[in-house]
Structure 1
Amino acid sequence: MVWGKLFGGGRKDKPVDPDAGKSPVHLLLETLDPAWREAFKMVVSDPQLDAVYRDILYRNLTLGQIEEARTTLRQAIPMMTKANRDRIQHLGQAQAWASDDDLLRAGIFSPKGTAFPVDYLELGYMPRQRSNGEAVKLPVMFHGEGHLLTVAPTGSGKGQRFILRTLLEFEGPVVVLDPKGENYRETAWRRDLYGQVYKWAPGEDDSDCYNPLDRVKGWDDARLLAELLVVPQSKEPFWDDAARDLLTGLIFYVMHRRPRERRNMREVCRLLAASKADFDAMVEDLQGSDDERLQELGNIIETQSEALRTSITTTLRTQLAVWRSDDVAAVTSSSTPGWSVETILRRDNSWITQAAREGRAPGWYYDEEAGEVHGGRAASIYLIVSPEKMSSMRTVLRVMLGQHLSEAIRVRRMLDEENATDAELPKSYPNWPMTFYFDEMPQLGYMRIIEDAVAITRSYRIRLWLFTQDIAQLKEVYQKWESLIANCRCQVYFRPNDQSTAEHVANRLGKRKDLWGGEDWVASPQQLMGPEFREDCVIIQDGLTIRARMSKPSYADEDLKEWIIEQKGKFGEEIHRAPRSERVPVIDPDQEPEAGEPPPDASEPSTPEDADLKEDAEYQEELAALQARMRARRSGPPPKATKDDDEGGGKRPDSPSGASEPPRRPPTPPSFNE
């Protein structure tokens, strides 16, 4: 009878205040440190422990006699079950991790009965048991504004456990640095439902094309391109700055003084390798230009010593050597129709706002009555370069990623302003960010635009997910690496294999007092590097420290593989690519085009300067090689059918008979309250 009253078995009166009706034990538990609270519950519930220990421990804690409580606990531990003996030794550590209630309040768990947000990324899960004993997985999610950083060594499963899975589920526009091409092979079939797929892969016949100079509209754009092209190498900033200044002017010069078909990086490289006579002629042309900035560039070059000018141009030629390669020139001298960030984001915004007016979720959907799949407008861009070529292709990848990010910032700001003035739009509606996957990010070298974007773009619906192998790698490239980490709202660490990274994570987690009055790591560097955390990751998000179980690698997840087979069976796996940009410019207007060749472009008048350029033997030789390759490509298999391009998407053939609409999102997550 006494124990019944003591542990809540007595009569409960109708509560008249928050504490009314609570047993003395419940009131005590609310005042205890989390570690002691958990220890007391274990002592009370342990089936092997004599009741006298519960009574004595309760009296110790009620009187605030902590040392006596520790003595009682030490006496009780040998008689507890083995599971409780193991748990109680490290209670101070366990209580430092975020609880289920913490995650629910922060929106990292989805409440029971609610759908996943359209912009969510699943980072892992918490293994739990329902009251009926059923095992469930509670997804740990990231959604809303902000950026992510993942730190894990090469070969640890960043792609298999995080990138592939999120690309299959996240329906917003993405730009993916894909070092092995694995992301394209495993996810492009699915992202084809979400919108147009672009594949940029130098050396591959089916690669899309992207000309960086197509994005240069003025001097500032030329300056940004030059900054991305020049990888900082000198300890003395003068040399890098001088190289950027010269390159900015040459890019601007090419855009203003070259015919349209020669406005590309190959032409910029050609100017850097010009003969002395040709270089002097260019300087004279610059000084005679109507543009003041070109005049200034000509004057600066003329006043430089020949030795200084030679040093700068030699540095630039070395850094830009990869742009002269056939593989890179072939995919950067023109642009695939529709491939610009402004076009992509405008199409996506149009589709999202249309869905908002109609009161439906954005993205692709299946019309069951008509048997048609209506594709979304969120494009996916895969930049594929083999790992062994990452170093040599660094300047190209910097340009591709940097220009896309810069344009996304500009266009998102513009679209947000336009949407704010649209009276027909609801005040709030489902939307998603444009997400950039920067795999192996430090290998690109220092990029100021990444540092700036992480600090300023949270409200622009632009999300960066940065990946690095270890802290030392990040520290070597970014002087303000601590600020970069701090500006990432979510940081994911797993399987560190170097002491500095493990110590960094352990220090972030800190130390906690244990039951015995001492201090210990929440997770020591040795624990983080050992088998105890082999399948777990440490997530630091919104001020919470989370220990989450990682999903299985995609290749080992049987449930995921079955789902992929089912979805491919219902909706196919064909990737509807954009039309290739196959027009090959014919420079000489008097030359008869070969059979099957498109006519020369006559959109711009011929000038004496153009005529001189057409006599460039080197250019004619390159042109002939490009024409031969293009003829060979056209004589091959016919291209795949493309999407209808009404705002970037359209209807698709019916799925196999009997196919029903797949779940657009995962089912409602299990509740941890059950």
Structure 2
Amino acid sequence: MLIANTFSAAGRGTAALELPPSLEGSGLLVGWSMEHERGKAPMGFSFGDPEATPAMGFVDPILMDGEGHLLTIAPTGAGKGVGCIVPALLRYMGSAIVLDPKGENASITARWRRSNGQQVVVLDPMGLTGQESGTLNPLDLIDPAAATGVDDAAALVTALLPNSLDDGKNTFWVSRARQLLLALILHAVTDLPPNERTLTKVRQLASRLAADPDGVSRSFAASRHPEVRMIQGNLQISARETLGGIVAFAQEGVDFLRGPQLQAAVERTSFDLGAVVRGDPLTIYLVLP
């Protein structure tokens, strides 16, 4: 069911143009055609059922059939949300991960998707939507015993310390900081008790490293993970003349966890991560301003 709305009638006579009360057939709703004459549908798209969308009176929905990627580009305020994202979330009943910086999409569509059989998780640590926030521990995504364990941890490190930090002058420090964070994360998921395998603990270990490098170095050397032991040798953690700079850059990657709200948001995972892989009816809204 679509919310009724009225458009300008420019180009289609004097009658008011309205959204149809419903859409027939399948396909992902990506927009509306305002052309006076129905032309050839763009490649990869189709118009809705002509009986439901007559030439006069209703605007024609443009639907995307089949699998594929879709990129919508428009300036701020052009209607990407109300014209594309919200209608898609109200119509498409498959699983979805929604990047929702302002929380608007969750506020409008979460209840609808939940009422239609979706498990809905709103990751909203700052409380923008007023809904109960789910939680996600990124370290739960890393299995140190898996063949991809090191690569998965390295991908998280790159997200925490993005390439934008390297301005050409900091290449050495960023590279070493990434190695250090990789060792800290792998050490956490391999050697620490399950309740301490969190990014908050990684941040604490990074801070401890500045005060007690020898202690952390010994922990790395005794790690059950070979990558941690190798990084311990490469970084020469006990070399204090370079350690300060490495730790400072590494801490930049986890310093966003200063407040209790964000710490609580990454403490544990409140939903089944396997549901994402299996394609279960699950919608995750990432409300991260």
Q: Which residue of 1 aligns with 2:215?
A: 281
1:279 offset after TM fit, Å? 2.6
Output the amino acid matched with 1:230. Answer: L
Identity, % of aligned positions = 29
1:250 offset after TM fit, Å? 0.8
1:154 offset after TM fit, Å? 1.9
Match of 1:261 among 189, 195, 198: 195
Q: Which residue of 2 aligns with 1:219?
A: 150
- TM-score, with normalisation over the residues of structure 2? 0.75
Q: Which residue of 1 aligns with 2:135?
A: 209
Aligned pair in 2 of structure 1 residues 250, 135: CA closer, same or farther (>3 Å)? Answer: same
Q: Is the 8 A contact 1:125 1:140 kept in 2?
A: yes
The DSSP-based 3-state class of the residue aligned with 2:162 is coil
Q: Which residue of 2 aligns with 1:320?
A: 254
Q: Is the 8 A contact 1:180 1:384 kept in 2?
A: yes
Using the alignment, how far apart are the partners of 2:135 and 2:55 within structure 1? 55
Using the alignment, how far apart are the partners of 1:186 and 1:115 within structure 2? 22
Q: Does residue 189 of the first structure (1) align with residue 111 of the second (2)? A: yes
Q: Is the 8 A contact 1:127 1:136 kept in 2?
A: no
The DSSP-based 3-state class of the residue aligned with 1:235 is coil
Q: Which residue of 1 aligns with 2:167?
A: 235
Q: Is the 8 A contact 2:136 2:270 kept in 1?
A: yes
Using the alignment, how far apart are the partners of 2:282 and 2:199 within structure 1? 25
Q: Is the 8 A contact 2:186 2:225 kept in 1?
A: no
1:346 offset after TM fit, Å? 2.0
Using the alignment, how far apart are the partners of 1:330 and 1:290 within structure 2? 28
1:331 offset after TM fit, Å? 1.1
Aligned pair in 2 of structure 1 residues 173, 183: CA closer, same or farther (>3 Å)? Answer: same
Q: Which residue of 2 aligns with 1:246?
A: 180
Match of 1:294 among 215, 228, 231: 228
Using the alignment, how far apart are the partners of 1:303 and 1:322 within structure 2? 24
Q: Which has the larger radius of gyration?
A: 1
Output the amino acid matched with 2:80. Answer: K
Deviating more after overlay: 210-219 vs 139-148: 139-148
Q: Which residue of 1 aligns with 2:6?
A: none
Q: How does 1:127-206 map to 2 (within 5 A)?
A: 127-128=35-36, 134-192=56-114, 193-204=116-127, 206=132
Aligned pair in 2 of structure 1 residues 275, 252: CA closer, same or farther (>3 Å)? Answer: closer
Aligned pair in 2 of structure 1 residues 137, 264: CA closer, same or farther (>3 Å)? Answer: same
Q: Which residue of 2 aligns with 1:413?
A: none
The DSSP-based 3-state class of the residue aligned with 1:168 is helix
Output the amino acid matched with 1:120. Answer: L
1:273 offset after TM fit, Å? 0.6
Match of 1:308 among 206, 227, 242: 242
Q: Is the 8 A contact 2:188 2:197 kept in 1?
A: yes
Using the alignment, how far apart are the partners of 2:208 and 2:136 within structure 1? 25
- Cα offsets for 1:572-598 (capped at 9, x unmatched): xxxxxxxxxxxxxxxxxxxxxxxxxxx
Q: Is the 8 A contact 1:126 1:140 kept in 2?
A: no
1:384 offset after TM fit, Å? 1.3
Output the amino acid matched with 1:317. Answer: Q
Q: How does 1:116-515 map to 2 (within 5 A)?
A: 116-117=25-26, 119-128=27-36, 134-192=56-114, 193-204=116-127, 206-217=132-143, 218-232=149-163, 233-236=165-168, 237-274=171-208, 276=210, 278-302=212-236, 305-338=239-272, 340=273, 342-346=274-278, 348=280, 378-385=281-288, 390=289
1:152 offset after TM fit, Å? 1.9
Deviating more after overlay: 226-235 vs 137-146: 137-146
Give unpaired runs (5+ residues) of structure 1.
1-82, 84-113, 349-377, 391-674
Output the amino acid matched with 1:332. Answer: V
Q: Is the 8 A contact 1:344 1:379 kept in 2?
A: yes
Using the alignment, how far apart are the partners of 1:323 and 1:153 within structure 2? 32
1:290 offset after TM fit, Å? 4.0
Q: How does 1:473-622 map to 2 (within 5 A)?
A: none
1:126 offset after TM fit, Å? 4.3
Q: Is the 8 A contact 1:201 1:383 kept in 2?
A: yes
- TM-score, with normalisation over the residues of structure 1? 0.34
Using the alignment, how far apart are the partners of 1:219 and 1:169 within structure 2? 39
Using the alignment, how far apart are the partners of 2:104 and 2:253 within structure 1? 28
Q: Is the 8 A contact 2:134 2:265 kept in 1?
A: yes
- Cα offsets for 1:278-301 (capped at 9, x unmatched): 331121121233432221111123
Q: How does 1:642-661 map to 2 (within 5 A)?
A: none
Q: Is the 8 A contact 1:269 1:324 kept in 2?
A: no
The DSSP-based 3-state class of the residue aligned with 1:179 is coil
Using the alignment, how far apart are the partners of 1:303 and 1:318 within structure 2? 18
- Cα offsets for 1:164-199 (capped at 9, x unmatched): 111111111111111221111111111111410001
1:272 offset after TM fit, Å? 1.1
Q: Is the 8 A contact 2:138 2:266 kept in 1?
A: yes
Q: Which residue of 2 aligns with 1:507?
A: none
Aligned pair in 2 of structure 1 residues 285, 319: CA closer, same or farther (>3 Å)? Answer: closer
Aligned pair in 2 of structure 1 residues 320, 138: CA closer, same or farther (>3 Å)? Answer: same
The DSSP-based 3-state class of the residue aligned with 2:174 is helix
Q: Is the 8 A contact 1:128 1:137 kept in 2?
A: no
Q: How many residues align?
A: 241
Using the alignment, how far apart are the partners of 1:276 and 1:160 within structure 2? 49
1:319 offset after TM fit, Å? 3.4
Output the amino acid matched with 2:234. Answer: I
Q: Is the 8 A contact 1:122 1:142 kept in 2?
A: yes
The DSSP-based 3-state class of the residue aligned with 2:212 is helix
Aligned pair in 2 of structure 1 residues 276, 345: CA closer, same or farther (>3 Å)? Answer: closer
Consecutive aligned runs of 4 or more in structure 1 exceeding 6 Å deviation: none
1:200 offset after TM fit, Å? 0.8
